[in-house]
Copies of this chain bind each other. A is one copy, B any other.
Amino acid sequence: MASSDRVRSGVKGLDALIEGGFPKNSITLISGPPGTGKSLLCLQYLYCGAMHGEPGMYVTSEQSKEDLMSNAEKIGLDIKPLVDKEKIVIWQENLSTTEQAMVNEDSLMDAVRDEVRRIKAKRLAVDSLSSLINVFTLGHMGKDADSNTIEIGKIKLVPIVIDEQPIVRTIVWDIIDGLRKTGCTCLVTSELLQGQSGFSRDTISEFEADGVVMLEAETVGEEIHRSVRLVKMRSTAMRGGRYGLEISGKGLIVK
């Protein structure tokens, strides 16, 4: 793969481990417990792109634009001018109760695609997949049931779906499908419970994404030891393993 097919992460030390960057148009899962730097990695990734002429979009249901910008500045990313010039667009989906009935994964991904086109984004970050799955699960309860009704005489019955795994799989597919259609190279964060098995909260997206990068933090005495683990990267002769990670005033650095 030519280096022109790689999209630099902007994280010092990381690109060297993955053939120069994420594969173009790929979708990489950034997974980790709270406080491990998932959002910061996404911000730095978009910042790197915007500084080199690739606009980026940040879709979040968690933090406000202001908080994200403040967080970015804390690690030395002068993000404000880029946001002002719409080289980076931060889009906070407010998914609290009142509005959520109106949102489903198709309409969200359509809206994202429109915005990507408008700003000619090449990079996209979704933070977090876990919360999107939660929101869309509620909406799916009805939709899936609808297509599986059975008729007994004149009565139509809706079977109850006991296991949510098939629904989650469907939602992950829809979101990934939507992301691919944007043409962007995407990062998607997943919440990981401390001590949980698997590489994502949903335990499905790590199989569906093209790449999986884990962020970890271990408390040893008064110190936090941060690390990044490269689990999977399709189309990449990846240098697997676990590497030290520093969150410094000059951004994230992989050591």
- A residues contacting B by CB (< 8 A) are 1, 33-35, 61-63, 67, 70-71, 74, 94-97, 100-101, 105-106, 128, 130-131, 134-135, 137-139, 141-150, 152-153, 155-167, 169-170, 173-174, 177, 191, 193-199, 203-204, 206-208, 210, 212, 217, 219-224, 229, 231-237, 239-243, 249
Option from B96, B97, B198, B229 in Cβ contact (under 8 Å) with A195: B198
Quote the shortest CB–CB distance from A199 to chain B (angstroms): 6
* Interface contact B235-A71, CB-CB below 8 Å: yes
Quote the shortest CB–CB distance from A50 to chain B (angstroms): 21
* Interface contact B219-A240, CB-CB below 8 Å: yes
Residues of B with C-beta under 8 A to A212:
34-35
Known: A150-B158, A152-B156, A191-B207. 10 other contacts (CB 8 A): A34-B199, A96-B173, A130-B207, A138-B161, A139-B148, A142-B149, A160-B160, A219-B241, A221-B242, A222-B239
Copy number in this complex? 6
Residues of B with C-beta under 8 A to A221:
241-242
Contact (A208, B158) CB under 8 Å given A163-B164, A197-B193, A219-B229: no
Instruction: Classify the secondary structure of A's interface with B.
Output: mixed
Chain B, residue nearest A247 (CB)? B237
Residues of B with C-beta under 8 A to A193:
197-198, 203
Contact (A235, B67) CB under 8 Å given A174-B96, A242-B219: yes
Quote the shortest CB–CB distance from A18 to chain B (angstroms): 12
Residues of B with C-beta under 8 A to A158:
150, 152, 157, 159
How many angstroms between the C-alpha atoms of A248 and B159 in the bound complex? Answer: 48
* Interface contact A35-B232, CB-CB below 8 Å: yes
How many angstroms between the C-alpha atoms of A101 and B150 in the bound complex? Answer: 13
Option from B63, B134, B155, B243 in Cβ contact (under 8 Å) with A165: B134
How many angstroms between the C-alpha atoms of A67 and B156 in the bound complex? Answer: 42
Residues of B with C-beta under 8 A to A195:
197-198
Residues of B with C-beta under 8 A to A174:
96-97
* Interface contact B241-A223, CB-CB below 8 Å: yes
